[in-house]
Amino acid sequence: MGDPRVYPEYPLIGVGTCLLKGNTILIIQRGHEPDKGLWSIPGGMVGYGERTDIAAAREVEEETGLKVLEMENVADIVDKIIYDADGKLKYHFIIVDYVTHQFEGSPVAMDDAVDLKWCPFEELPQYEYPDTIVELFKKINIWPG
């Protein structure tokens, strides 16, 4: 049996979290598809029966070791739709992205995150992201320019 996220029969629900500290955001480098090797925010899939805010906090802890104390608000809801070279739908996610300044611990790259860093807002354009992440950073007013 293959990965149920690839060539899905219906959209899947994902979550992400913008962890902000001063004028920095925690970015992670993805270790798996989709977007392997690109920089992003901690996130993943919502489990059956799991609330999106709880799933987002769980994914932060799994990928960074940080414990979210409270999700502050929903930053965006994103449709991430990716087609393969033959034009067939390969991925279809509906992603609920949160923002928080309220967390504790020291981040360590784990699980899907192969690297992470606190990135000053002015340095964000130095890294390669999925288009949806750049749009999110613009929406929450941290993308320079």
Instruction: Give the model confidence (pLDDT) of 93-107 as tens digits.
Output: 999 999 999 999 999
What are the phi and psi torsion angles at 67 (to 5°)?
-105, 115
pLDDT tens digits along 68-80: 999 999 999 999 9
pTM of the complete model: 0.92
CATH numbers and ranges of domains, the chain: 12-139 (3.90.79.10)
pLDDT at 2: 73
Measured between alpha carbons, how far is residue 8 from residues 43, 70, 88 in Å? Answer: 19, 32, 11
Q: What H or E segment, with its residue span, contains residue 62?
A: helix 52-64
Using the predicted structure, report yes or no on whether residue 1 has a pLDDT greater than 70.
no
Q: Per the structure block, which two tokens stand in for 129?
A: 């992201």
Percent of the chain that is helix, strand, coil (3-state, to 5): 20, 40, 40
Query: 89-100 and 12-21: which strand pairing?
Result: parallel
Q: How would DSSP label each residue in 83-117?
A: E-TTS-EEEEEEEEEEEESEEES-----TTEEEEE
SS3 23: coil
CB atoms closer than 10 angstroms to residue 53: 20
CA distances from 7 to 1, 45, 48 (A): 12, 16, 19
Least confident of 1-5, 63-67, 79-83, 115-119: 1-5
